[in-house]
Structure 1
Amino acid sequence: MSKGPLLAISLAVATVALIAIGTIWPFASAAAYASGEHFTGSTSTPEAAVQGLGEKIRAQAWDRAYSGLANRAEFSEGQFRRDLTGAYPDLLTYATLNSFEVQPEHATATDANVQLKMQWSTVVGPSVTTRDLHIVKNGNEWQVEWPIGKTPAVPPQVIPVNYLRWDVIYRTAGDDWGAQDVDAPHVRIVTMHPVQRAEGLVLMGELLNEDVVPAYVSVTATLISKDQKPIETEASFDKISHQLLPKQVTPFLIRFPNVSLSDVGSVRMSPFSTLISASADPVIEIENEKLNPAPDASLTGQLTNQSGQIANVAHVLGTFYDKSGQVIWVGDQYIDHALLPQTPVAFNIHIPEDLARKVSSERTVVSTFSFGGSE
């Protein structure tokens, strides 16, 4: 499925804004980094070598970062850059490295293992990637061996497509249709459950497209106090699959920070839908799903793009149920890199430890967006 207009607009606006800001008001510290003014020059320890590499990556000084690698003869500078920002447009293509952590793991007199944890700022929020680095001593200096990612090569082939597609023709100003137009699809909230969390109130549930046409959907909730006054209104932005094909169900999760359930008398839910063009391609198969118990409870698995087109952004949503079938949590993960045809990609959705022991079953859905346009 496609993520739909919301993600497309977010990506486009964020990209244009970043380009404009960088062109009109160049970031002073970035220019200083690029000139080498503020890079950590020391490579006297494994940690210092990784710290300097992180600074160069954050400044996007790719030539400087690449030239200091111990194993640079194994790949080109372009391959090194694409390993971090994506060979195809994806979330990291338009991201910036916000911060990073250097965590030593093991060291001898001649080599060391250090973990580099990088937090990227993307258009859909922070994304964390981790690289386990091997550091070797070369004379009096330490150099990083970069673990270049290996993407399986898909052999040339013909993939037949046989999928449903819906196109919409709207009335224009020159059409003599009177007031007639296409009705919005019928959608319905099938379940809603409020939960008090440490950070505030959370509403979670599921939304069903009851119609025979695809719908772009959203959910808004207004909390009403016990004296019938509105407390706050919020909408589900990323914890929902915005495009629903006929008869499909999506989870949703809406957060109300710093609101206590004891102050709420009632909740007004407002589902929204509009008719959109859509197709059932690309087909993303979910494989090897596993619920991992606490501690570090999570839902893991693999996504495989069964189609012949690239899915630039993939969003995985996990709905978790207790023994009675009630929704007790909705988790998600955006995949950093594009889903290439026939190439499995792992996902990992965190489950709060206090809820993990209550999980009896789960359901996973995937929505995708391609920069070539929504299908």
Structure 2
Amino acid sequence: MNKGNLLALVLAAATVVLVAVGTVWPVKAAVFYAGGGKEGLLRPSSTPEEAVENLGTQIRLLAWEKAYESLSNKAEFTEPEFLHDLTGYALSLRTYATLDSFEVQPLHQSATDAEMRMKLRWSTVVGTFQDTRDLRVVKSGDHWAVDWPLVKEQHVPPQVIPVNYLRWDVIYRGAGDDWGSQDVEAPHVRIIDMHPVNRAEGVVVMGELLNEDVVPAFVSVRATLLAKNGSPLASEGSFDMISHTLLPKQVTPFVIRFPDVDLSQVGSIRMQPLSVLVSASADPVIEVQDQKFNPAPGASLTGQLSNQSGQVVNIAHVLSTFYDKNGQLVWVGGQYIDRALQPQTPVAFHIAIPEDLAKKITNQRTVVATYSSGSSL
């Protein structure tokens, strides 16, 4: 028997064994999804911890009806309200997020009720976010059930919001137009600051980009690390840590990460700002309110975003640039807001700052990139 036939026989035998194992000992989650019931996946809820863990498992499996039916206070709200509390009342990062993991922490317990803290870690296309809920768990007969703390969306009263903002539209050359070989010239953008730092995860290149033109631009930045002999080490783009749409004279911070590269390996950095002319408007207006720098330990920048327009902002990305007393760039941090911004409804944000850099910070500037359904960032 040649080696090819032997390999095919081994693979076939291994496949048969794996199929047999999957049939005899199927994965519990797969059985649940296939309608095989919750036996073995969920526990009897004989303790407060088990009740909360069962609820987390049902949410993770998107078993919304089972999760809702298990609640002790379900008479206070509907199943759709429970679903919207977890996945968002409007299109947002929560809408398509999946529960990656959860953690249950006991706070207090008596014979008939308990207080538990549940940390839900959701996964999205732009990373993870955490939702912490303090739960009351009550005993009913021989089992425990969760009293869910529903967060209802605030409703803005009907009103007329006057709109008065700048807007730029772009008309491109059509297929039958004789305008020569070029369309409208790309906007002029310029990097006004660039600062590389060494972090545990690798090199981080931070900076600021200015749209110095009189038209809006869709921008990005690419950086190439060069070794001391001039050979390229790595090339990366700013991706999401940038406000891509810049109105005239606006500035955006940017961050480019190079994992597993040490700054001692780098001889120089080649920067390439890119821009494309786009249609844009100065609406929606997002006001940053109550900013507060919190020093170490637990260094952070906190505040609130207030949507001053009359349209829902589906995704908001807060970007903050931190400076030292000489105005030099120290750090750039950001946070995606997991819920949609409703008109005139403040939403809190929290940006963590590395402890070793926090002591250098004396000032900051915050911008907000937004996405609304039917428009672009």
TM-score scaled by length of structure 2? 0.90
Q: Distance in 2 between matches of 1:257 and 1:162?
A: 45
**8 A contact 1:281–1:307 mirrored in 2:** yes
2:255 to 253, 256, 260: 253
Q: Distance in 2 between matches of 1:208 and 1:354?
A: 28
Letter of the 1:353 counterpart: E
1:221 to 220, 223, 228: 223
Question: Does 2:102 align with 1:100?
Answer: yes
Letter of the 1:302 counterpart: Q
Match of 2:18 in 1: none
Q: Distance in 1 between matches of 2:372 and 2:40?
A: 38
Distance 1:180 1:283, change over 3 A: same
Identity of aligned residues (%): 65
Distance 1:110 1:310, change over 3 A: same
Q: Distance in 1 between matches of 2:36 and 2:272?
A: 49
Match of 1:185 in 2: 187
Q: How many residues align?
A: 349
CA RMSD of aligned residues (A): 1.4
1:132-281 aligned at under 5 Å gives the runs: 132-281=134-283
Deviation at 1:108, TM superposition (A): 1.7
Which one has more relative contact order, counting CA pairs under 8 Å at least 6 apart? 1
Distance 1:85 1:34, change over 3 A: farther
Q: Distance in 2 between matches of 1:191 and 1:63?
A: 52
Match of 1:24 in 2: none
Letter of the 1:223 counterpart: L
Q: Distance in 1 between matches of 2:376 and 2:273?
A: 22
Distance 1:54 1:33, change over 3 A: farther
Deviation at 1:208, TM superposition (A): 0.4
Unaligned 5+ runs, structure 1: 1-26
Distance 1:104 1:364, change over 3 A: same
1:10-47 per-position Cα deviation (integer Å, ceiling 9, x unaligned): xxxxxxxxxxxxxxxxx946614784345313211111
Match of 1:10 in 2: none
TM-score scaled by length of structure 1? 0.90
Deviation at 1:205, TM superposition (A): 0.8
Distance 1:373 1:154, change over 3 A: same
**8 A contact 1:284–1:303 mirrored in 2:** yes
Match of 2:9 in 1: none
1:104-150 per-position Cα deviation (integer Å, ceiling 9, x unaligned): 12222222111111111111122221111111111221111111002
SS at match of 2:158: coil
Q: Distance in 2 between matches of 1:234 and 1:34?
A: 47
Q: Distance in 2 between matches of 1:248 and 1:230?
A: 31
Distance 1:34 1:79, change over 3 A: farther
Letter of the 2:337 counterpart: I
Q: Distance in 2 between matches of 1:346 and 1:101?
A: 23
User: Which of structures 1 and 2 has the bigger CA Rg?
Assistant: 2
